[in-house]
Amino acid sequence: MQFNEYQRKAKTTAIYPKDENPLWYPALGLAGEAGEVADKVKKIMRDRNGAATDEDREAIVKELGDVLWYMAMLALELNVDLNRVAEENIEKIMSRKERGVIHGAGDER
């Protein structure tokens, strides 16, 4: 599935308050779901010294799907398609790799 196709399909399931500022709901949802991913990883590290089970992987895949949904809706509210987000991100990361600045700090490196 292509990112834009996912975004179009996900839009049909978007039932949330769209008031004068429609960004807050998907942005907060994205943060919450990312936190759930991090919490699952934390528990794998704490309880199993980093050894993820098949069940852990499946649970994280589901949470990553929720992250993707909220990311798609936030991009939609910004009138940006997910293909653009993916393309611009990989260009940025590849440029950092080529320039030897993948490790480091700051957005504009």
Among residues 106, 90, 87, 107, which one has the least CA distance to residue 98? 90
* pLDDT for residue 104 is more than 80: no
* pLDDT for residue 108 is more than 90: no
* pLDDT for residue 107 is more than 80: no
How high is the pLDDT of residue 106? 76
Among residues 92, 40, 93, which one has the least CA distance to residue 66? 40
Helix axes 24-48, 54-77, angle to 10 degrees: 160
Summarize pLDDT for 1-58 with one digit per residue, the tens: 999 999 999 999 999 987 889 999 999 999 999 999 999 999 999 999 999 999 999 9
Q: How far apart are CA 86 and CA 46, in angstroms?
A: 32
Contact, 93 vs 56, CB < 8 A? no
